[in-house]
Amino acid sequence: MAIRLVDLGTVSYLRSQTVYHGVAYARTENTPDTILLMNPKEPYVCVGFHQEVEKEVDTDFCRKQGIPVLRREVGGGAVLLDSDQMFTQWVMSPDRLPWNLNKRFQIYARPLVQTYHAFGIPAEFRPINDIHVSGKKIGGTGAAAIGQAEVMVGSFLFDFNTELMARVLKVPSEKFRDKVFQSLQEYMTTMKKELQTVPDREEVKAIYIRECEKALGEEIVEGALTPEELAAIEALDEKFQSDEWLYQKSGLLREGVKIHQDVWVTESMLKARGGLVRAMARLHNDRIEDVSLSGDFTFHPHRLFSDLEKALLNVRLDPDAIRERVAQFYEDHEVQTPGVEVEDWVTVLMSLQQKVE
% of the chain beyond a pLDDT of 70:
96
* DSSP one-letter code for 14: T
pLDDT at 176: 87
Q: Are 139 and 79 in contact (CB under 8 A)?
A: no
Residue 266: band (very low, low, confident or very high) from pLDDT cuts 50, 70, 90: confident
Cα angle 352, 333, 312 (rounded to 5 degrees) comes to 25
pLDDT at 264: 85
Tell me where in the chain the CATH 3.30.390.50 domain(s) lie: 257-354
pLDDT at 243: 93
Residue-wise pLDDT for 210-225, tens only, equals 999 999 999 999 999 9
Tell me where in the chain the CATH 3.30.930.10 domain(s) lie: 3-246
Q: Report the half-sphere exposure of 147 (CA within 13 A, side-chain side).
A: 20
Residue-wise pLDDT for 132-172, tens only, equals 999 999 999 999 999 999 999 999 999 999 999 999 999 98
Q: Which of 63, 78, 189 is nearest to 126 (CA)?
A: 189
Q: Are 250 and 55 in contact (CB under 8 A)?
A: yes
pLDDT at 222: 97
pLDDT at 261: 57
Query: Taking the CA atoms of the chain, what radius of gyration do you get in angstroms?
Result: 21
Residue-wise pLDDT for 288-341, tens only, equals 999 999 999 999 999 999 999 999 999 999 999 999 999 999 999 999 999 999
> Three-class SS of residue 348?
helix
pLDDT at 169: 94
> Three-class SS of residue 180?
helix
pLDDT at 253 over 50: no
Q: Selecting from 3.40.50.410, 3.30.390.50, 3.90.180.10, 3.40.50.2300, what CATH number does the domain 257-354 have?
A: 3.30.390.50
Taking the C-alpha atoms of residue 262 and residue 274, their distance in angstroms, rounded to an integer, is 34
pLDDT at 252: 38
Q: What is the mean pLDDT of residues 74-81?
A: 94
DSSP notation for 72-120: -SS-S--EEE-TTEEEEEEEE-TTTS-SSHHHHHHHHHHHHHHHHHHTT
Q: Tell me the pTM.
A: 0.86
> In this predicted model, which residue has the larger pLDDT, 56 or 16?
16
> In this predicted model, which residue has the larger pLDDT, 114 or 175?
114
Q: Selecting from 3.30.1300.10, 3.20.20.10, 3.40.190.10, 3.30.930.10, what CATH number does the domain 3-246 have?
A: 3.30.930.10
* DSSP one-letter code for 302: G
pLDDT at 250: 43
Q: What is the mean pLDDT of residues 25-41?
A: 97
Q: What is the mean pLDDT of residues 184-203?
A: 96
pLDDT at 265 over 90: no
Q: Which of 176-190, 221-235, 313-327 has the lowest mean pLDDT?
A: 176-190
